Amino acid sequence: MSVSKLTMFRKLLRLWLWSIIKRRWYLPEISEITVDELFDRFNGNTLPILLDLRDLVEFYGNGEYKYEKYGHIPNSKWFRLMELSSRLDDLEEFKDKEIVTICQGGGMSLVAVQIMIEAGFTDVKSLKSGIKGWKKKGYPLIKSNEDELPPDEIKLASFDDRSKIMEEIFPLDETYNGEVHYTVDARGLSCPQPVLKSKKTLKKLKIGQILEILTTDPGSKRDIPAWARVTGQELVVFEERGSQGFRFLVKRMK
């Protein structure tokens, strides 16, 4: 029995449409909002909950590096990214409200959206290009001291000693001599690319395998360990290599 070209075309079209539907069902896209769209919302009565996930010194705008001096978007609430997975109950009152997550360049905020959606939050978006994109447009930013913050800020910790934070977040296991199973070369790239490339590549590894990540962006000193922790992976090694940048070894745990 022969099959006409038209019938074959219809079969292939149905198969193609089915594959698109299934792919969208199993791999939903993470919602994003642009800095222009968010700025326009300030002129209306529908401003979402703005959740700033950066370090506290970045939120205040009184850090040492250039990207730590920007400050925060007006009406933002601070929530420590490293505590996100374990402290979602503190955000319960916002579970059914529109939330926009904010980070430096838009990478870690995507990870945060994924975690929150899986935890049952119904309307969460990532600010595309993050604070960096907001500042580039010249939109307003606030710099402040801790005493000047509104009383309703979500504050989970107070960090007075910057060096202690770095020691806590960025351990160095000099005894590790295991095999590297895949390398992500993100040198020359800035946030959010190192995190996004690492996130995508980690899926190729099996549980227990090691991902090596090479970067030159100073922000990755914060972003890569934060991404590893909030997604349940293990940061095995962190190395500073001077002009060559930074090296991370992340073990896939789940």
Residues classed as catalytic = 191
Beta bridge partners of 49: 99
76 and 102 Cβ atoms separated by less than 8 Å: yes
Instruction: Please state, in angstroms and rounded to a whole number, the distance separating the CA atoms of residues 118 and 7.
Output: 41
**In which region does residue 79 sit, left (phi positive, over 0), alpha (psi from -120 to 50) or beta (all else)?**
beta
Instruction: Please state, in angstroms and rounded to a whole number, the distance separating the CA atoms of residues 170 and 248.
Output: 10
Tokens of 75: 């009406």
129 and 105 Cβ atoms separated by less than 8 Å: yes
CA dihedral 222, 225, 229, 233 (to 10 degrees): 160
